[in-house]
Amino acid sequence: MYIISITFAKIIYWFIKLFNIGAGFTWPGHFVLKMNPRILKEISKRLPDKVVLISGTNGKTTTAKLATHILRRSGYKVLHNDTGANLLNGIVSTALLNSDYRGELNFDYTVFELDEFTLPRIMQEVRPRGFASYRGHLHGCSGH
């Protein structure tokens, strides 16, 4: 079913691009989630061991791009939802559209920028090997 989901996502993406009806980064995930509601569990089995989840009210995009840039400059292959699609459908689209024909995600790291309402579902369903959650508060400068 996973390979079918990948194929379906890539066909939807191709169709969207062919007819110029959008960017194509959310619809594939949306339709696959309807077809296969357990797709996140399947994706989690294929993610690299090292996963970075970035969520919050402000600064998600900048932080995710910075982390991805640093990792790539260090020679790592990084799976990143750099299109800005940070809801469940965007995460699913990112994983499926970057999978090879065997369903493999050949990356060293995953950096996902997540909408704050998407984070709990991702934390619940996406459990790659070696994944540990942080349940605390991060404090930063407010600029005041």
Residue 136 lies in a domain: no
Contact 31, 8 (CB under 8 A): yes
Q: Given this model, what pLDDT does residue 129 score?
A: 54
Local structure of residue 132 (DSSP, 8 states) = -
Residue 137 lies in a domain: no
Residue 97 lies in a domain: yes
Residue 141 lies in a domain: no
Residue 50 lies in a domain: yes
C-alpha 39/C-alpha 27 separation (Å) is 15
Query: 24 lies in which domain range?
Result: 2-125
The helix/strand/coil state of 49 is coil
Give residue-wise pLDDT tens across range 75-134.
Answer: 999 999 999 999 999 999 999 999 999 999 999 999 999 999 999 999 888 765 544 544
Domains held by the chain: number: 1
Residue 60 lies in a domain: yes
Residue 133 lies in a domain: no
